[in-house]
Amino acid sequence: MNLIHIQRRQFLKISGLSTLSLLMGGCGTPAFEDIVGQLSQPLNHQVGELIFNPQKPVPEFSLNEIQPEALIVNTFRYTPIIDLEKYRLVVDGEVNNPLSFSMAEIQALPLTSMIIRHVCVEGWAAIVQWGGISLKEIIALAEPKANVQFAYFKSADGYYESWDIASVLHPQTLLAYQKNGEPLPVDHGAPLRLASPIKLGYKQSKWVTKISLVSNLSPFKGYWEDQGYEWFAGL
Ligand SMILES: Nc1nc2c(c(=O)[nH]1)N[C@H]1C(S)=C(S)[C@@H](COP(=O)(O)O)O[C@H]1N2
Ligand SMILES: [Mo]
């Protein structure tokens, strides 16, 4: 882990969440965000290496620590209406094997679950259990080319995000279709949303329809990032 990560972790521990939002609100201009992003991008990571070598998991919470009421719905545009019969998760870009999954196909893959803290920059957090498939499994099936460094996530409400490939392939980065042991509610991103203990809430796209693996970021990095928020947004 790099210096910026360590500082943020310590900062979180020492000063709590309200200060995190102040920090986020205060760290200003896109130019600064770009520098921070570059410093914290694990660009030296090869996709193949990340698929085969495990990364360190974040400690999880226990069942009795789940805070069912704390996860508020945070939707900035609208809740899309998705026809499950027609829904497909597409994986494309710099891959040898582009894929398209129905939800039945997704749910046939091994189900995994984790209890983690969701942290929103607006100053709230919630301990949640997410169930779904490991994003790494899906990416591996698509056979990414060696030059892949980032993933774009497209959502049905027009939201979009980009992540560094190391975070995408982290063992606790899931495409979730369950929340606290129940089917994922539509407001929280059904049929499929990102969930990961290593990224801030705004990186965790709901209603994901497409994952594009790429070797470069475009000038459009994410819905909030393009309005000045930090790109890496690690926890
Ligand atoms: N497609 C989409 N994904 C999204 C958002 C959104 O508005 N649209 N909001 C983000 C923000 S800021 C947060 S904190 C979480 C909130 O997830 P929740 O509504 O399940 O609590 O979703 C993230 N993912
Ligand atoms: Mo958020």
- Confidence (pLDDT) at 122: 95
- Model confidence, pTM: 0.85
Assess if residue 11 is contained within a domain.
no
Range of the domain at 158: 60-221
Q: What integer is the mean pLDDT of 6-11?
A: 39
With a 6 Å cutoff on the Cβ, whether 159 touches ligand 1 is: yes
Assess if residue 172 is contained within a domain.
yes
With a 6 Å cutoff on the Cβ, whether 120 touches ligand 1 is: yes
Assess if residue 159 is contained within a domain.
yes
Assess if residue 196 is contained within a domain.
yes
Q: State how far the Cα of 47 lies from the Cα of 143, in Å rounded to an integer.
A: 10
Nearest CA to ligand 1 atom 23: 202
CA diameter of the chain: 48
Q: What integer is the mean pLDDT of 112-126?
A: 97
With a 6 Å cutoff on the Cβ, whether 11 touches ligand 1 is: no
Question: What number does the ligand 1 atom closest to the CA of 200 have?
Answer: 14
Assess if residue 5 is contained within a domain.
no
Nearest CA to ligand 1 atom 24: 205
With a 6 Å cutoff on the Cβ, whether 204 touches ligand 1 is: yes
Number of domains forming the structure of the chain: 1
pLDDT one-digit tens code per residue, 178-188: 999 999 999 99
Q: Is the pLDDT of residue 30 over 80?
A: no
Task: Give the CATH number of the domain where residue 97 resides.
Answer: 3.90.420.10
Exposure of 58 in the CB half-sphere (CA atoms within 13 A): 19
Assess if residue 46 is contained within a domain.
no
With a 6 Å cutoff on the Cβ, whether 199 touches ligand 1 is: no
